């Protein structure tokens, strides 16, 4: 019987402690700026989902938004799209290739061909930065 009491008080403590932790996390994270999901412009609660697209770290609120982004990144990127083989932000959204479910864009067919031959090497290169 005693162990049951200990167990239930631990359980209650757990429930009570949790919202405090979340409040603290939200406070520390929002100290720099308000976090907004890139896809649906919703305010991101907690830490959200950070996703790296080529050389940019993006913040998304849910897995649904992550999937929507991967399908059509050009819709959500407000700056220039990077063409990985040449490293310039001059990719054309009409020239794209899907790798591991993520769409990438290129400045021309030549770059697209280079990427498709050795996609992982280009992705690794930009992931290091």
For the CB of residue 100, give the shortest distance to Zn ion in the complex, in Å.
20
Q: How far is CA 38 from CA 23, 35, 119, in A?
A: 23, 9, 25
Binding pattern for the stretch 83-102 against Zn ion, x by CB under 5 A and - elsewhere: x-xx----------------
Binding pattern for the stretch 64-83 against Zn ion, x by CB under 5 A and - elsewhere: -x-----------------x
Which of 61, 77, 105, 122 is the binder for Zn ion (CB under 5 A)?
A: 61
How many residues are recorded in the chain?
129
For the CB of residue 1, give the shortest distance to Zn ion in the complex, in Å.
48
Contact positions with Zn ion (CB under 5 A) in 3-32: none
Per the CB < 8 A criterion, the answer to whether 10 and 23 are in contact is: no
**End-to-end distance of the chain based on CA atoms, in angstroms?**
57
Pick 17 or 40: Cβ nearer Zn ion: 40
Burial (CB < 10 A; 0-12, 13-18, 19+), residue 48, is buried
């Amino acid at each position: 019987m005693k162990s049951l009491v200990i167990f239930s008080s631990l359980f209650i403590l757990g429930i009570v402690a949790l919202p405090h932790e979340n409040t603290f996390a939200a406070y520390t994270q929002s100290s720099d700026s308000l976090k907004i999901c890139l896809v649906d412009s919703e305010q991101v609660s907690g830490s959200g989902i950070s996703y790296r697209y080529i050389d940019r770290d993006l913040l998304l609120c849910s897995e649904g938004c992550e999937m929507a982004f991967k399908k059509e990144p050009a819709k959500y990127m407000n700056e220039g799209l990077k063409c990985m083989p040449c490293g310039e932000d001059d990719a054309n959204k009409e020239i794209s290739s899907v790798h591991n479910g993520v769409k990438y864009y290129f400045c021309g067919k030549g770059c697209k061909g280079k990427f498709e031959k050795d996609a992982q090497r280009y992705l690794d290169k930009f992931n290091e930065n």
